[in-house]
Amino acid sequence: MRFCFPMTEQARVWSVVHAYIAAAETYLDSIPKQGCDVHGNPLQCRATTRKGTACQRVPLPHNGYCPSHQHLAETEETELAAVA
């Protein structure tokens, strides 16, 4: 997006953007990583229980399901492959 700013202002634009990115990185680094999302809300498994309520367990980071519901992730992958 360099063409949006004149050459004489590009150094100042870069410093402003760099400052905002550094502030965002500092904020994200200050958030506890385990069990919370970016907004500080506790993470929950994507599955529902037999009663129809949301599973309250903390999900694994690679697919969003807790250890008890890992079989749902495998089923999801199989269904996506069948559709494609």
Q: For 2-60, write each residue's pLDDT tens digit.
A: 788 899 999 999 999 999 999 999 987 776 666 777 777 788 888 988 899 999 888 88
Task: For residues 83 and 48, state if they share a domain.
Answer: yes
The answer to whether the beta carbons of residues 32 and 47 sit under 8 Å apart is no
Residue 33 confidence (pLDDT):
66
Task: For residues 22 and 47, state if they share a domain.
Answer: no
Q: How far is it, in rounded angstroms, from Cα 21 to Cα 31?
A: 16
Q: Which of residues 71 and 81 earns the better pLDDT score?
A: 71
Is residue 56 domain-resident? yes
The answer to whether the beta carbons of residues 57 and 66 sit under 8 Å apart is yes
Is residue 48 domain-resident? yes
Task: For residues 26 and 60, state if they share a domain.
Answer: no
C-alpha dist (Å) from residue 66 to 12, 22, 46, 78, 82:
47, 33, 8, 19, 24
Is residue 36 domain-resident? no
Task: For residues 49 and 84, state if they share a domain.
Answer: yes
**Structural domains in the chain (count):** 2
Task: Give the domain extent around 12.
Answer: 1-30
Classified as helix, coil or strand, 24 is helix
Task: For residues 26 and 47, state if they share a domain.
Answer: no
